[in-house]
Amino acid sequence: MDIQPALTQGAGIGRYARVLAENLGRAIPAGNSLSLFYFDFSRRCLKYEAGNAEVRAVRWCPGRVVQQAWKLAGWPPFDWFAGKADVYHFPNFIIPPLRSGRTVVTIHDASFVRLPELAEARNLRYLSARIADTIRRADAVITDSRFSADEIVKLLHAERGKVHAIYPGIQGGFGAPGADAVQSVRRRWKLDKPYLLNVGTLEPRKNHRFLVEVFEKMTDFDGYLVIAGRPGWKCGGILDRIRASSRAADIRLLGDVADDQLAALYAGAELFLFPSLYEGFGFPPLEAMACGTPVVSSTGGSLREVAGGGAVLLEAFDSDLWAETAKKAIGDKSLIARGRQHAGRYTWEETARRTWKVYEKVFHENRH
């Protein structure tokens, strides 16, 4: 398994690669072995609970140089660096050059095809140029939801039989942190009033400008809107909208928040608001549910499928409707209980078990 995203990306795909690999390493069936590979020229040294898996880092060659060679020349092959294997898993959309072995690729969503105007330009060019070749070469495609599986078949023309919808899990640390942890997070970010929370990279797809509009309509909520997430592509307009808001003084941008702090941040919130335009899965609403926070979410992309059992879902982007619904959801004990129960369905142990089944399927098809 190529775990490079675990080193280079903090959330989203980085988390998927890191936590899936950890759980695969703890659940390797007897008679099998798993190697976790990454480039580490800068000696960042991933701290990994790899279980029975072998962690292999190449430190003599910069990964970015190899990736550029892949893009420009289609060479050298990945297995030169990672070694020989029966099955290779690439968790970040694209299969690099490879001489032998069967391939599994995770294509998390088709947002770059469905909503290209909201994608980062360089990433859009790269995926658009390489995705057809990846689909052709892949022996199996894993994706994060049934919605995304349908999108990959329809928009990327993958064979239905080789696309597998496997839900990611929610990490065990997202639960009910103690009151001391919540108070510590409040003190750290000076959250001395109640707050609404949103978690996600600052980018157009996450619909932060609409979120600010909803907050402005909640005039009787005396508290903060807290947004946790790093600045992403096309975030200039989002930051301008926040600065121009009539409630700008009550909007807090925290940037990246480590997982051990994030659970307490979720737990301390009055409500989690998630008006995303499109999600292939959507970790944050489920994480909020697991931490006992009520959730109001859009139905963008997979969210009806993934979050629908534990959240209040709104189809229309009507800020008055969202503001009124949000006020009603705050403190809704039945919604909180439903959310906790729903989030409990998503476990990384099950994700790892089903992912290994795909490896076995690919391997045995190769033998016959």
Cis peptide before 168 (omega within 30 of 0): no
pLDDT at 196: 98
Q: What is the DSSP letter of 53?
A: P
Task: Give the pTM.
Answer: 0.94
Please choose, from the candidates 135, 122, 188, 195, the residue with its C-alpha nearest in 3D space to the C-alpha of residue 162: 135
Please list the residue range(s) of the chain that carry CATH number 3.40.50.2000.
Answer: 4-169+348-367, 179-343
pLDDT at 366: 64
Q: What is the DSSP letter of 2?
A: B
Domain at 179-343: CATH architecture: 3-Layer(aba) Sandwich (3.40)
Please choose, from the candidates 346, 173, 338, the residue with its C-alpha nearest in 3D space to the C-alpha of residue 265: 173
Sheet holding 295-298, edge to edge: 251-255, 224-228, 195-199, 271-274, 295-298, 312-314
The domain over range 4-169+348-367 is classified in CATH as 3.40.50.2000: yes
- Condensed to tens digits (0 to 9), the pLDDT of residues 149-160 reads 999 999 999 999
Please choose, from the candidates 341, 359, 367, the residue with its C-alpha nearest in 3D space to the C-alpha of residue 170: 341
Task: Give the span between the Cα atoms of 67 and 37, in whole angstroms.
Answer: 14
Question: Which residue's structure tokens are 């060019």?
Answer: 125
Task: Give the span between the Cα atoms of 130 and 126, in whole angstroms.
Answer: 6
Q: For 12, how many CA atoms within 13 A lie in the half-sphere containing its CB? A: 18
Provide the residue-wise pLDDT of the chain in tens; the chain has 368 residues. 999 999 887 668 988 999 999 999 999 999 999 999 999 998 887 777 788 899 999 999 999 999 999 999 999 999 999 999 999 999 999 999 999 999 999 999 999 999 999 888 999 999 999 999 999 999 999 999 999 999 999 999 999 999 999 999 998 878 878 899 999 999 999 999 999 999 999 999 999 999 999 999 999 999 999 999 999 888 999 999 999 999 999 999 999 898 889 999 999 999 999 999 999 999 999 999 999 999 999 999 999 999 999 999 999 999 999 999 999 999 999 999 999 999 999 999 999 999 999 999 999 986 65
Taking a C-beta distance cutoff of 8 angstroms, is the pair 225, 251 a contact? Answer: yes
